[in-house]
Amino acid sequence: MISIPILNVSSSKEKRPEYLRLFREAGAGRVFLFTGNPFGDPAELDDALSLLSENIARYTANGLEAAIWIGESCRRNGDF
């Protein structure tokens, strides 16, 4: 199964249809929603969980498995 990681914050309501189209074109069966580490700030955590909930519901309703990737990721020079 092809799995594609994306930044959760980049998967907004407006961008989800385009992501779904691209995932279908790629033959993806799973999306990893990368949140970074939102646990330091309660407001950030609430926002991250709300958007995660929306994204998981939307992607699973469209036939994709949705997984959450929390923490650090591979990056170069501190940038994603």
Q: Strand order in 65-70's β-sheet? A: 2-7, 28-36, 65-70
Domain extents in the chain: 2-70
Model pLDDT, residue 73: 56
CB 74 within 8 A of CB 30: no
CA-based diameter of the chain, in Å? Answer: 37
* Mean pLDDT, each 10-residue run in order, the chain (80 residues): 91 92 95 78 79 94 91 55
Model pLDDT, residue 62: 95
pTM score, two decimals? 0.77
Tokens for 13, please give them: 């309501």
Model pLDDT, residue 48: 80
